[in-house]
Chains A and B, each alone.
Chain A
């Protein structure tokens, strides 16, 4: 029934994102839950781009500066994200090294690239691969939150390893920047409205 696929917009219906009740197109509030309803996420494209830009900007200090400084006997050992990954690999903790590599390097970059591609595809009004793009979007939004693993690692290490002069873990600038990156990508994914992929004949949103 592919030719029968219609968006709710084409059928003059608006989906309430709160209670998922279909409302007539001219309603300003949901009939069921009284939430303000919008036909598409507001300024989706714009906001997605803005957040992506933020994420990209913040990713630079997150990679350059040390995310964590291990002070053993007053001797500081700063480690960046990538540097930490390499060190863990060299120390033989392959699993952890891979996990952190994926969570902190692969996923944020992939997410930014995917969302950028999706925005780009909207811009050039791509008409093919709608299903695929929607699926990609779905998974992107799903795993995005797992990038916070690295932040949790730093936070837990910081909380546990406070051994006075013997060993202290201090957070670095990159921890904050990386958290900012993850939040920005999460917000970017949330701002993006996948229904736009399916709005082929409509005006600019």
Chain B
């Protein structure tokens, strides 16, 4: 049997280490959790659609960087505050220009996006900007930004008077390729709109100081004095709208442009070729006749070469007094001539040169005339030409502009001649003639009617004659006649063969003739002297002096 072993007992058993460890672990866990918690941020949205406290994640490039902890309605009752906690590692992403938006299924003209969120639930996408970090209160976007902030490219602005069918998100095309997008359209002032474009690199190098931007939406239909032209860009822009850019025909590429440059937005493709020159001079033309058929933008030619275009047709260029005093106020047409076209020099000096040159030519007979370009469409254009037959005009100044003398066109006189002719035609007494003709026709009608009746009776007669001829008696007649003729023939033969008979006949005839003569004389006598029947004739002969008895 062993003896019990007596050991000194320590005060605290080692088991107390266990709770210590438990406390330590819990505390460490809590501390670590709070240290790793990251920053709390607040994002303001218009609605909390798809956002759930505790569940909705915040992601960047599809990596979890945080989670929404709370969703509250703001005191203005119009926005929602979403409180989220971003992981400590991702704190650096919270920059001044970081953007937040809710990724949920969206359908747009570009297609459907965010479909995966149908299963996994909506999440908030965080896109870090390029600014310095440290922001904790953000305003969330309602829609994803059109251009990711870190994409390289060019941001430029277009100024235009109308933004027909253009929306943010529409493409920007260059020679048919999509090279960028419209990011924003805002109203500058009552007459102008400012469109912001983003053009991706490397295509942003295509944009130079001479580039012209035009609205490529829909179909551009251009009817002018020369032709009818239809132009479309890509199918997408035809249907949904877009902007395209290109160099005007006779321009060289200019300098590179920087972010923020402003350009003008031309209404269509043809407009950019109309004014490729930077410098131009405006002249005023005053026309006596109607300028209907002349469109703004129409060409101004010199003997077929384009030298400028029509800028405006309005009365504002005439002063009020001119409008009131004149007997027939002339129609002012403002044209723009490009010195670059005429003098091949595009500079401010060339504008003055041009005016001097024109003054010279005007004194030699240069005039502007309104000509009809196309009889089909009725469009007119302006032609500058020399008219040596007409009296020379001079360059005057009306308001701010110099004027060029104008004249009427050849087609003009043709038209006025035709007008005179129709006028004359109008004055002919056609009414009376017509009445007479009417009367004549009536009588002719009546004549014809009676003629009809006569024809009818002749018809009847013919019928009866026909009947008669076809009757038996008549049928037999030729036979009888034949017989008669034969007998006559034979008898005549008999007579002819006997000379005596014919002699006797002759004598008889002679006697008959003498008798008749005497009877005739007797009758004459009786006529002259009716009393000769009783008293006989005197037989006195009226002697005529000089004649033989």
Decide if B120 touches A73 in the complex (CB within 8 Å): yes
B30 / chain A contacts, CB cutoff of 8 Å: 61
Decide if A54 touches B18 in the complex (CB within 8 Å): yes
Given that A27-B4, A75-B55 are contacting pairs, would A61 and B29 also be in contact in the complex, using a CB cutoff of 8 Å?
Answer: yes
Closest CB of chain B to A50's CB: distance in Å? 4
A51–B19 CA distance with the chains assembled, in angstroms: 7
A54 / chain B contacts, CB cutoff of 8 Å: 18-19, 21-22
Residues in A18-68 with C-beta less than 8 Å from chain B: 24, 26-29, 42-43, 46-47, 50-51, 53-54, 57-58, 60-61
Decide if A27 touches B2 in the complex (CB within 8 Å): yes
Decide if B2 touches A29 in the complex (CB within 8 Å): yes
* 9 cross-chain CB contacts under 8 A: A26-B4, A28-B2, A28-B3, A42-B13, A50-B16, A50-B19, A61-B29, A61-B30, A184-B22
Interface centre among A24, A46, A47, A75 (most CB of B within 10 A): A75
A61–B55 CA distance with the chains assembled, in angstroms: 20
B19 / chain A contacts, CB cutoff of 8 Å: 50-51, 53-54, 57
Residues in B1-34 with C-beta less than 8 Å from chain A: 1-5, 9, 12-13, 15-16, 18-19, 21-23, 26, 29-30
A76–B9 CA distance with the chains assembled, in angstroms: 53
A7 / chain B contacts, CB cutoff of 8 Å: none
Decide if A47 touches B26 in the complex (CB within 8 Å): no
Decide if B29 touches A76 in the complex (CB within 8 Å): no
A43 / chain B contacts, CB cutoff of 8 Å: 9, 13, 15
Decide if B55 touches A76 in the complex (CB within 8 Å): yes
Nearest CB in chain B to that of A26: its residue:
B4
Sort A-B residue pairs by CB-CB distance and give the 3 closest, nearest first.
A73-B119, A53-B19, A73-B120
B38 / chain A contacts, CB cutoff of 8 Å: none
Residue of B2, B15, B26 near A57 (CB, 8 A) is B26
Q: Does A77 belong to the interface (CB within 8 Å)?
A: yes
Decide if A58 touches B22 in the complex (CB within 8 Å): yes
A51–B17 CA distance with the chains assembled, in angstroms: 10
A29 / chain B contacts, CB cutoff of 8 Å: 2
Nearest CB in chain B to that of A23: its residue:
B1
Contact with B along A151-193 (1 / 0, CB 8 A): 0000000000000000000000100010010001000000100
Q: Does B121 belong to the interface (CB within 8 Å)?
A: yes
Q: Does A12 belong to the interface (CB within 8 Å)?
A: no
Residues of A in contact with B (beta carbons under 8 Å apart): 24, 26-29, 42-43, 46-47, 50-51, 53-54, 57-58, 60-61, 72-78, 173, 177, 180, 184, 191
Nearest CB in chain B to that of A60: its residue:
B26
Residue of A46, A58, A75, A177 near B120 (CB, 8 A) is A75
A192–B19 CA distance with the chains assembled, in angstroms: 16
Residue of B2, B9, B15, B22 near A180 (CB, 8 A) is B22
B29 / chain A contacts, CB cutoff of 8 Å: 61, 173
Interface centre among A26, A53, A191 (most CB of B within 10 A): A53
Residues in B41-92 with C-beta less than 8 Å from chain A: 54-55, 57
A57 / chain B contacts, CB cutoff of 8 Å: 19, 22-23, 26
B55 / chain A contacts, CB cutoff of 8 Å: 75-77
Closest CB of chain A to B38's CB: distance in Å? 17
Closest CB of chain A to B84's CB: distance in Å? 15
Given pairs A61-B29, A75-B120, 17 additional interface contacts (CB within 8 A):
A26-B3, A28-B2, A28-B3, A28-B5, A46-B12, A46-B16, A50-B13, A50-B16, A51-B15, A54-B19, A57-B23, A60-B26, A73-B120, A73-B121, A74-B120, A177-B26, A180-B22
Nearest CB in chain A to that of B54: its residue:
A78
A50 / chain B contacts, CB cutoff of 8 Å: 13, 15-16, 18-19
A70–B228 CA distance with the chains assembled, in angstroms: 68
Residues in B109-128 with C-beta less than 8 Å from chain A: 119-121
Residue of B1, B13, B21, B23 near A27 (CB, 8 A) is B1
Closest CB of chain B to A151's CB: distance in Å? 17
Closest CB of chain A to B1's CB: distance in Å? 6
A71–B29 CA distance with the chains assembled, in angstroms: 23
Closest CB of chain B to A13's CB: distance in Å? 14
Nearest CB in chain A to that of B118: its residue:
A73
B54 / chain A contacts, CB cutoff of 8 Å: 78
A191–B15 CA distance with the chains assembled, in angstroms: 11
A74–B117 CA distance with the chains assembled, in angstroms: 10
Given that A29-B2, A53-B19, A73-B121 are contacting pairs, would A58 and B13 also be in contact in the complex, using a CB cutoff of 8 Å?
Answer: no
Decide if A75 touches B121 in the complex (CB within 8 Å): yes
Residue of B1, B15, B22, B120 near A26 (CB, 8 A) is B1
Decide if A61 touches B26 in the complex (CB within 8 Å): yes
A42 / chain B contacts, CB cutoff of 8 Å: 13
Decide if A47 touches B2 in the complex (CB within 8 Å): no
Closest CB of chain B to A45's CB: distance in Å? 10
Closest CB of chain B to A67's CB: distance in Å? 15
B23 / chain A contacts, CB cutoff of 8 Å: 57
Closest CB of chain B to A25's CB: distance in Å? 8
A72–B57 CA distance with the chains assembled, in angstroms: 13
A45–B19 CA distance with the chains assembled, in angstroms: 15
A29–B5 CA distance with the chains assembled, in angstroms: 10
B18 / chain A contacts, CB cutoff of 8 Å: 50-51, 54, 184
Decide if B26 touches A58 in the complex (CB within 8 Å): yes
A73–B121 CA distance with the chains assembled, in angstroms: 8
A50–B5 CA distance with the chains assembled, in angstroms: 26
Contact with A along B254-274 (1 / 0, CB 8 A): 000000000000000000000
Closest CB of chain B to A152's CB: distance in Å? 22
Nearest CB in chain A to that of B27: its residue:
A57
Nearest CB in chain A to that of B10: its residue:
A43
B2 / chain A contacts, CB cutoff of 8 Å: 27-29
Closest CB of chain A to B40's CB: distance in Å? 19
Closest CB of chain B to A107's CB: distance in Å? 19
Closest CB of chain B to A36's CB: distance in Å? 9
A177–B2 CA distance with the chains assembled, in angstroms: 44
B21 / chain A contacts, CB cutoff of 8 Å: 54
